[in-house]
Amino acid sequence: MKKLNENDPAIGFSQNDYLGNNIDLANYKGKKILLSFFRGASCPFCNLRVNQLINRYPEFEEKQIEVITFFAASRDEIIQYAGKQKAPFPIIPDPNMEVYKKYGVEESHFGMVKAMMQPMKMIKIMTSGFFNFKSIVDKPLIPADFLIDENQSIYSAYYGKDFGDHLPITEILNWRK
């Protein structure tokens, strides 16, 4: 899978989010976008990050940054797990990972082990209210975040190193272009 880099064109998609709304990247032309890819909808690391995005969403709105998220999960799984958080941004199911492949999102069993070897991260996950054993059998996808500019070019491509590694929210909010 080819990873995307800064200045590459964003790869278009038109998918329904888990609520049935069509999300077409072309409709976001002229806007700044945070595009985030997560593992399965039961992933505690992913749900913690979604929670952080929800809590900071007013700041994203203030900075005029649109948030679009993908889960390698079915609509029903999203409703059962990540959807319970009632995110103010689209959560798109992509169980066959069609868009994941286009963006070069990778699988890594080492990424799972690496996340589990970080005691502070694991304590946070265990006490977050998002921990469950179902996530253990989810695909070992490593998250990826993309900042897409108003011209639909990749401003920043961030491929995580473990299950909980995302582009820091402060970096996203400090994006000036």
Q: Domain boundaries in the chain?
A: 29-158
Say what the pLDDT of residue 115 is.
53
Residues 37 and 70: beta-carbon distance below 8 Å: yes
Residues contacting residue 98 through CB under 8 Å, at least 6 positions apart: none
Say what the pLDDT of residue 42 is.
86
pTM assigned to the model: 0.85
Residues 71 and 39: beta-carbon distance below 8 Å: yes
Q: Residues in the chain with pLDDT < 50?
A: 110
- Separation of alpha carbons 40 and 30, rounded Å: 30
Say what the pLDDT of residue 117 is.
57
Say what the pLDDT of residue 137 is.
54
Structure tokens at 38: 């997560």
Class of domain 29-158: alpha beta
Say what the pLDDT of residue 111 is.
52
Q: Which long-range contacts (CB under 8 A, 24 or more apart) does 94-98 make?
A: 94/15, 94/70, 97/72, 97/139, 97/141
